[in-house]
Amino acid sequence: MLFLDKGDILWFWKSRTEIKLDLIIDTLKVVLKNQYQLSKNQCVLDKRSNKILKLIHLLRMNELTPMSIVITGERSVEGMDVIEFKVNLPEKSAPDVVSRELTIVRNGDVANQEVLMLDADSTVVEGLEGQQDIEVVASLVDIDDSGNRSAASVVTAVLVDTIAPPQPGVLGVEVVGESHVDDKPLDDGADDEVVEPVDPVDPVDPVDPVDGGEGN
């Protein structure tokens, strides 16, 4: 930068290099400002993209098998019939789901409900059981990476015995003896006498003992 003193006036002249540096600095300021705006726009786009992904996922879920309770077997425990079952789960409700919570309530006993923490990608829970003919309520909640909990999906079923007994064993035939039967042909009744019907006989008039039966 050059300085020129003319009396009471001080003149400044910038060199070409300084002028170029000022232009570069101004350009950088514009770039940084645009970059900041782009970052804000990117955040908005990311939020909108997540909403779109959630909507797509929900649409996919509507095409899948819904949550259900399936009876898989039965067994007897101390004389009590126990039904074995599993719970089929829909896919996670959003991409940012990190865990799932499945609650099983048997026969309305909320105090003794069973709570299972599952992986985000879990779609079936097996090895469950309950007493025959009781009502079972299964409730599923998805939890995202921020700890937010979804509304619960609920399914109810009665543990009815629908399992047929096992197939009987192989049947066997055992010979236990023998007997003789006369080989004379049985009478088929072909030579039986045919009895013809007899016509009814007219009744005889009674005889008068006085006149010998003759009329006067």
168 found inside a domain: no
* Look-up of token digits 């990476």: 145
Spatial CB neighbours of 197, under 8 Å, sequence gap ≥ 6:
none
Amino acid making up residue 76: S
What's this model's pTM, rounded to 2 decimal places? 0.52
Residue 125 to residue 119: CA distance in whole angstroms: 11
Whether residue 71 sits in one domain with residue 46: no
Q: Which domain holds residue 135?
A: 66-158
Q: How far is CA 67 from CA 61, 174, 188, in A?
A: 10, 53, 72
Point out the domain boundary residue: 158, 185, 210: 158
202 found inside a domain: no
Whether residue 137 sits in one domain with residue 114: yes
Through-space distance between the first and last CA atoms of the chain, rounded to whole angstroms? 191
196 found inside a domain: no
Whether residue 111 sits in one domain with residue 135: yes
Whether residue 88 sits in one domain with residue 141: yes
* Burial of 137 per CB tally in 10 Å (0-12, 13-18, 19+): middle
CATH number of domain containing 112? 2.60.40.10
Q: Based on the structure, what is the number of domains in the chain?
A: 2
Q: How many CB atoms within 10 Å of residue 97? A: 20
78 found inside a domain: yes
Whether residue 72 sits in one domain with residue 146: yes
94 found inside a domain: yes
Closest by CA position to 76, among listed 137, 136, 157, 165 = 165
Whether residue 75 sits in one domain with residue 153: yes
Q: Is 113 within 8 Å of 105 (Cβ atoms)?
A: yes
Give the rounded distance of the alpha carbon of 183 from its chain centre. Answer: 68
pLDDT per residue, tens digit, the chain (216 aa), is 544 555 555 455 667 787 788 888 888 888 888 888 888 888 888 888 877 877 776 666 555 557 899 999 999 888 899 999 999 999 888 889 999 999 999 999 999 999 999 999 999 999 999 999 999 999 999 999 999 999 999 999 999 988 888 888 888 888 888 877 766 555 555 555 655 666 665 655 555 555 554 444
Residue 46 to residue 44: CA distance in whole angstroms: 5
Whether residue 106 sits in one domain with residue 37: no
Point out the domain boundary residue: 29, 45, 61: 61
